[in-house]
């Protein structure tokens, strides 16, 4: 895109009418718009791959900072 960014909020909003179990977003969190909360009962995971610090935050979105292939294992355990 010419502006070197994304409209993640718009993309998430377009999915709000879909019947999804979960939405997993890999991002650097440099969106040009506000990202809305996932529509319940969908679970939302925001994985910041550009983070210099690792951690997990439990809010409307489960925010995971840092990347590891074990994230899939974490999601399975968290939802189990």
Beta-bridged to residue 56, according to DSSP, are: 64
Compare 79 and 5 and report the one with higher pLDDT.
Answer: 79
Stretch 64-74: mean pLDDT: 91
Q: How confident is the model at residue 26 (pLDDT cuts 50, 70, 90)?
A: very high
The contacts of residue 34 (CB under 8 Å, 6+ apart) are 9
Beta bridge partners of 45: 24, 62
The model's pTM is 0.84
Say what percent of the chain tops pLDDT 90. Answer: 45
Average pLDDT, the chain: 87
Structure confidence at residue 1 (pLDDT):
55
pLDDT tens string 71-80: 999 999 999 9
CB 30 within 8 A of CB 6: yes
């Amino acid at each position: 895109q010419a502006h070197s960014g994304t409209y993640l909020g718009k993309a998430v909003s377009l999915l709000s009418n879909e019947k999804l179990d979960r939405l997993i977003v890999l991002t650097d969190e440099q969106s040009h718009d506000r990202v809305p909360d996932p529509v319940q009962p969908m679970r939302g995971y925001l994985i910041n791959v550009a983070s210099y610090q690792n951690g997990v935050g439990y809010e409307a979105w489960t925010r995971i900072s840092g990347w590891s292939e074990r994230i899939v294992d974490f999601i399975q355990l968290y939802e189990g």
